[in-house]
Amino acid sequence: MDKTKIQEYLKVLACPQCKGEVVYKIWNKKEGFYCKKCSLFYPIEDDIPIMLVEEAINISLLEKNEPS
């Protein structure tokens, strides 16, 4: 996704769970928006952010369960 589009999304998007700020992040080779407060990653699919709590990935839970 191009930087201009990302910046436009960041101006209007918020975490649907806590209504807090999201940041652009690449995680596990996927682009998306991440809420630091909730540790939720909202993936981008076909240039569309999937901003649904049910579709979000809880990164902190996954990283805790990964083998060291």
Instruction: Tally the domains of the chain.
Output: 1
Q: Where are the alpha helices (DSSP H) in the chain?
A: 3-12, 59-65
**Which CATH number characterizes residue 18's domain?**
2.20.25.10
With beta carbons less than 8 A apart as the criterion, state whether 9 and 49 touch.
yes
**What range defines the domain where residue 48 resides?**
3-65
pTM: 0.88
Question: CA triplet 16, 22, 24: central angle to 5 degrees?
Answer: 130
pLDDT in tens, 15-25: 999 999 999 99
pLDDT in tens, 8-55: 999 999 999 999 999 999 999 999 999 999 999 999 999 999 999 999
For residues 53 and 66, give the distance between their C-alpha atoms in angstroms, rounded to a whole number: 22
